[in-house]
Amino acid sequence: MVKIHLSRLLGERRWTQADLVRKTGIRPNTISEIYNELVDRINLDHMDLICEALNCEIADLLEYIPNKNRKIK
């Protein structure tokens, strides 16, 4: 599973989703879907813009959490 930490990062900076929209130019619906972890995939250009706006690394934004029940053969 991949956890998206956008809500935490915005909270730490006391930014709203609207602030991030203004800084990045990404559509509000897209920011909301990422913020609420409703996405199956994220556009790399969007990741770049978000990391640049928040002055963070991708590792600050995304975290891989192994699924103990899933076994890949």
Total-model pTM: 0.88
Q: Which residue segment(s) compose the domain that 38 sits in?
A: 2-64
72 belongs to a structural domain: no
Query: What per-residue confidence (pLDDT) applies to 70?
Result: 73
H/E stretch holding 53 reads helix 44-54
pLDDT band at 43 (very low <50, low <70, confident <90, very high): very high
Please give the C-alpha separations between residue 15 and each of 7, 25, 26, 40, 72, in angstroms, as whole numbers. Answer: 9, 15, 15, 24, 39
Write out pLDDT tens, residues 44-55.
999 999 999 999
Q: Is residue 72 predicted with pLDDT exceeding 90?
A: no
Query: What per-residue confidence (pLDDT) applies to 25?
Result: 98
Q: How many domains, in total, are found in the chain?
A: 1
Q: What is the CATH number of the domain that holds 10?
A: 1.10.260.40
71 belongs to a structural domain: no
69 belongs to a structural domain: no
